[in-house]
């Protein structure tokens, strides 16, 4: 079925990243608006870079679309816009066309993802204002993990109004879904039945994928839990969090756990894995080892959830590029036997475009 290009948007607090895909779902162009709110820039992977006043997400999106037009693709030429949305809660468990009801549900999930969903909504609303008749779609990072069992999702808390919504949601779902799609294309073989997937980047998680479906993952109610990350600590005792909240206050404790912990906190210097692995500082070496140790330790949990393992796949910036880290983790998992391992380039944007295209074709 002929369709116009699909523009994928990933709106964050200070930037909007985008990728344009043609009718065959081949990537054509990448654009990014950075510096929201204030004096920023719009740039493309073709080398263009322009200063721009980005007072809010609407202004950033307009500037991005102006550069897209200059690259030969007008707004009227687009077939659809597809958004990466971090949290879909318990209702949005598959890609959806954005309708008023879907938008309302994304808004209802803001308490679950206060650092992400508001910015996704800002991009959705700005695009609606610019092109009200252009179809918009959303793919949710939490959706891939909706196949987890109740036992895997539920915290051991009593039922009650104050505990409603407290469960393991899991994240990086678009990345894992893209990996499931890409790995068989890469190997020419069926997807391994029991696949341990590691999305390793500034945010990092593991996923147990059994017969192509998530059965367990390391992130939980929020992206803070699981393994050591760039600026997040991974698993930490709940009473330690309460201690931080009492001594620092809730807001400062939130900042510490989300922005000043993990590799950055351990090294006292940087969260950049490239800098850490290139350094001879003992603190930096300890941070790298901490990252690898906890990735391997949580891998044992994922393997238990699948009752075994047939293959391992790495993706994400660290997973794709940090050979030393991959080998360290694989060495720590050598007890599991000679397991095939793969490095799969991240393709979240293409997966999001493919989901939008499938929904368009179904209509």
At 2, the pLDDT band (50, 70, 90 cuts) reads low
Confidence band for 345, pLDDT divided at 50, 70 and 90:
very high
Domains 6-140 and 189-348 share a fold: yes
pLDDT of residue 113: 86
Contacts of 352 (CB under 8 A, 6+ apart): 8, 82, 83, 84, 95, 137, 139, 174
What percent of the chain is modeled with pLDDT above 70? Answer: 99
Q: Percent of the chain at pLDDT above 90?
A: 95
* pLDDT-based confidence at residue 44 (cuts at 50, 70, 90): very high
Q: How confident is the model at residue 3 (pLDDT cuts 50, 70, 90)?
A: confident
Asked if residue 135 lies in contact with residue 128, where contact means CB atoms within 8 angstroms, the answer is no
Judged by DSSP in three states, 243 sits in: helix
Q: Kindly list the catalytic residues.
A: 141
Q: What is the mean pLDDT of the chain?
A: 95
Q: How far apart are CA 350 and CA 21, in angstroms?
A: 7
CA distance 289 to 11: 32
Mean of pLDDT values over 311-327? 97
Kindly state which CATH superfamily the domain 6-140 is placed in: ATPase, nucleotide binding domain (3.30.420.40)
Both tokens of 284, joined, read: 């930096």
pLDDT at position 1 over 90: no
HEC string of 103-133 equals HHHHHHCHHHCCCCHHHHHHHHHHHHHHCCC
Residue-wise pLDDT tens digits, 192-222: 999 999 999 999 999 999 999 999 999 999 9
224-228 contacts: CB < 8 A, separation 24 or more? Answer: 224/257, 224/258, 226/298, 227/291, 227/294, 227/295, 227/298, 228/204, 228/262, 228/263, 228/266, 228/287, 228/290, 228/291, 228/294, 228/295
Instruction: Give mean pLDDT, residues 268-286.
Output: 97
At 286, list the tokens. 């300890």
The pLDDT value given to residue 8? 98
From residue 192, alpha-carbon distances to 178, 294, 296 in Å are: 15, 24, 20
Strands 341-343 and 311-315: parallel
CA angle, corner 203, sides to 202 and 205, nearest 5?
130
From residue 81, alpha-carbon distances to 23, 89, 94, 168 in Å are: 13, 22, 17, 29
Mean pLDDT of 4-22: 94
Model confidence band, residue 310 (pLDDT cutoffs 50, 70, 90): very high
Q: Residue 52 burial (CB < 10 Å; 0-12/13-18/19+)?
A: buried
**Taking 90 as the threshold, does the pLDDT of residue 136 lie above it?**
yes
How far apart are alpha carbons 131 and 180 in whole angstroms?
33
The stretch 316-330 carries a mean pLDDT of 97
Residue-level pLDDT at 115: 82
Per-residue confidence (pLDDT) for residue 114, from 0 to 100: 85
Task: Please list the residues that pair with 194 across neighbouring strands.
Answer: 210
Per-residue pLDDT at 130? 93
How many residues does this entry show for the chain?
363
What are the boundaries of each domain within the chain? 6-140, 189-348
Q: How far is CA 300 from CA 82, 179, 207, 308, 349, in A?
A: 36, 20, 11, 9, 30
What is the pLDDT, as a whole number, of residue 363? 79
Quick one: fold of 189-348?
A: Nucleotidyltransferase; domain 5 (3.30.420)
The structure tokens listed for 239 are 């009473």
At which residue do the structure tokens 């070496």 appear?
Answer: 285
Residues sharing a CB contact under 8 Å with residue 16, sequence separation 6 or more, in sequence order: 9, 10, 32, 33, 36, 57, 60, 61, 64, 123
CA distances, 193 to each of 182, 212, 303, 332 (Å) = 15, 7, 12, 22
pLDDT of residue 349: 96
């Amino acid at each position: 079925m002929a369709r116009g290009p699909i523009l994928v948007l990933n709106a964050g607090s200070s930037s909007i990243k985008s990728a344009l895909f043609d009718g065959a779902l081949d990537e054509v162009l990448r654009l990014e608006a950075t510096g929201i709110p204030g004096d920023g820039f719009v740039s493309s992977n073709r080398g263009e870079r322009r200063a721009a006043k980005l007072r809010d997400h609407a202004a950033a999106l307009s500037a991005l679309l102006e550069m897209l037009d200059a690259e030969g693709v007008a707004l009227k030429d687009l077939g659809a816009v597809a958004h990466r949305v971090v949290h879909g809660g318990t209702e949005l468990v598959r890609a959806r066309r954005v309708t008023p009801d879907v938008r309302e549900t994304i808004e209802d999930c803001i308490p679950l993802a206060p650092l992400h969903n508001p910015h996704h909504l800002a991009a959705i609303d700005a695009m609606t204002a610019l092109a009200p008749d252009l179809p918009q779609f959303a793919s949710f990072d939490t959706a891939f993990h909706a196949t987890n069992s109740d036992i895997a999702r539920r915290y051991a808390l009593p039922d009650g109004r104050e505990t409603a919504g407290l469960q393991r949601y899991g994240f990086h779902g678009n990345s894992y879904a893209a990996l499931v799609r890409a790995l068989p294309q890469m190997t020419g073989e069926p997807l391994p039945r029991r696949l341990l997937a590691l999305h390793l980047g500034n945010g990092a998680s593991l996923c147990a994928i059994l017969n192509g479906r998530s059965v367990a993952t390391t992130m939980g109610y929020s992206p803070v839990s699981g393994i050591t990350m760039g600026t997040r600590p991974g698993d930490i005792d709940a009473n330690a969090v309460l201690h931080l909240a009492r001594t620092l206050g809730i807001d400062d404790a939130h900042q510490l756990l989300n922005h000043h912990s993990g590799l950055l906190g351990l090294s006292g210097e940087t969260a950049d894995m490239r800098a850490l692995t290139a350094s001879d500082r003992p603190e930096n070496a300890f941070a790298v080892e901490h990252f690898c140790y906890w990735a391997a330790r949580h891998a044992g949990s994922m393997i238990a959830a699948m009752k075994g393992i047939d293959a391992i796949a790495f993706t994400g910036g660290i997973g794709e590029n940090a050979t030393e880290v991959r080998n360290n983790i694989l060495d720590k998992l050598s007890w599991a036997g000679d397991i095939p391992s793969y490095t799969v380039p991240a393709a979240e944007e293409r997966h999001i475009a493919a989901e939008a295209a499938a929904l368009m074709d179904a209509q």
